[in-house]
Chain A
Amino acid sequence: MARRGFKKYMDKRSPATFKIQITSMVDMFVILLVFLLKSYSTSPVQLSPGKDMTLPVSTSVKDPVDVLKLQVSKNAIFVEDKKIVDLKDGQVDVKDVDQNDTQFIRTLYTELDGQANKSRTIASKNEEVEFDGKVILQADRNLPYELLKKVMYTSMMAGYSDVKIAVLSKD
């Protein structure tokens, strides 16, 4: 009689093994998956502006192309992530500027000219590659046109006349 009572008790008790309820976890993951798929970037070129740089906002929707990257922050000018010119309060130091032409940044020109020569050498040996003088300019939104004009003028002198300004998409 007592044994039958114990068996009844054991049957009523929850089993030793249990199943985790994962339905809500799957729900959560599906929502996360949809969000990530929506913000998944299909562009082959990824531009990541520096931490002290805020790009201007535009309605443009054109994806960037894989060309030379020129960054102008409040503190320095970079060519392909390599610091070339130091800036003080958004101004180029006098030693970096040509004395006869105040728009011409000599150190930047030397670097860009080197990059252009490298691209031209590759283009002369590989028919599929063409040097088209395109450059993507990533510049801080608050920088004055005075500085950008100098950068664009210098890059134009080095052969990079097709300047594309990187912006944050409004979408």
Chain B
Amino acid sequence: MRRTFGARVEDSTFELNLAPMLDIIVSIVPMLLMSIAFVHVTVVDTPVPQAVDKAMAAANDKKDQVQILLAVSKETGFRFTVNDKGQTHDVNVPLNGKDLDLVALHKQTIELKKQYPDVFRVELNPEEKVPLNEIVATMDSLRTIQGSEAKVTFHDVDSGKSIETNLVFPDVVFGNVAGG
């Protein structure tokens, strides 16, 4: 009896039945399309780790706490005003051309944090002409370190150990709203 090669090959191959799999996918796709978020909306409120939270609470309890104010102006740029036990000094970050210099602001923020590692709050005082997107960008520069920058170190009030964090001044408040 003669055996053909072609017949043997035909026996060993088979076709996968993909129809049930397709049924499942077709059912899932409309459900996912209904709940899809093409734009991810978040809120500006940086999450604070517990150790940082305690340090912030401890810092706010101190009566002789250092106060840092940041004025934002479209004409003159940024101006930090640091009130350290009654002594006040200003640090200016001028405009870069006609725009606010956010890179220079961030560098200055890191420098201030090195000087005052136990301060977590900055009072923001923007001028009336400053648009919201520039205020949010300013807040981002103040709150966290960017990219591969060295982390910020502070002392944990409970353990007394040094803790590294990517939060710089996480507690940014509008200082001139209540004033009317």
List the interface of chain A (C-beta within 8 A of B): 19, 22-23, 25-26, 29-30, 32-33, 36-37, 39-41, 43, 46-49, 55-65, 101, 103-104, 136, 139-146, 148-149, 152-153, 156, 164-169, 171
Cα of A55 to Cα of B133 in the assembled complex, Å: 8
Do A167 and B136 have beta carbons less than 8 Å apart?
yes
Do A22 and B43 have beta carbons less than 8 Å apart?
no
Cα of A136 to Cα of B35 in the assembled complex, Å: 22
Interface assignment of B148: CB less than 8 Å from any CB of chain A: no
B46 surroundings in chain A (CB, below 8 A): 60, 62
User: Which one of A56, A63, A164, A171 lies within 8 Å of B132 (CB-CB)?
Assistant: A56
Do B41 and A143 have beta carbons less than 8 Å apart?
no
Known A-B contacts A65-B43, A101-B180, A141-B132; A39 and B144 likewise in contact (beta carbons under 8 Å): no
Subset of 15 A-B contacts with CB under 8 Å: A22-B22, A26-B22, A29-B26, A36-B33, A41-B40, A56-B135, A58-B139, A62-B42, A62-B43, A141-B133, A152-B177, A165-B136, A166-B43, A168-B41, A169-B41
Do A143 and B131 have beta carbons less than 8 Å apart?
yes
B136 surroundings in chain A (CB, below 8 A): 56-58, 141, 165, 167
Do A168 and B44 have beta carbons less than 8 Å apart?
no
Interface assignment of B7: CB less than 8 Å from any CB of chain A: no
Known A-B contacts A143-B131, A153-B180; A47 and B41 likewise in contact (beta carbons under 8 Å): yes
Q: How many residues of B contact A (CB 8 A)?
A: 45
B26 surroundings in chain A (CB, below 8 A): 29
Known A-B contacts A29-B29, A143-B131, A146-B129; A156 and B42 likewise in contact (beta carbons under 8 Å): no
Smallest Cβ distance from B150 to chain A, in angstroms? 18
Do A139 and B132 have beta carbons less than 8 Å apart?
yes
Known A-B contacts A145-B127, A156-B178, A169-B41; A33 and B133 likewise in contact (beta carbons under 8 Å): no
Q: Which of B25-44 contact A (CB under 8 A)?
A: 25-26, 28-29, 32-33, 35-44
Cα of A60 to Cα of B142 in the assembled complex, Å: 12
Do A167 and B131 have beta carbons less than 8 Å apart?
no
- Chain B residue with Cβ nearest A148: B132
Do B131 and A145 have beta carbons less than 8 Å apart?
yes
Known A-B contacts A22-B18, A103-B180; A144 and B130 likewise in contact (beta carbons under 8 Å): yes
Cα of A142 to Cα of B39 in the assembled complex, Å: 19
Q: Produce 1/0 per residue, B164-180, CB < 8 A to A.
A: 00000000001011101
Do B29 and A32 have beta carbons less than 8 Å apart?
yes
A59 surroundings in chain B (CB, below 8 A): 140, 143-144, 146
Do A165 and B36 have beta carbons less than 8 Å apart?
no
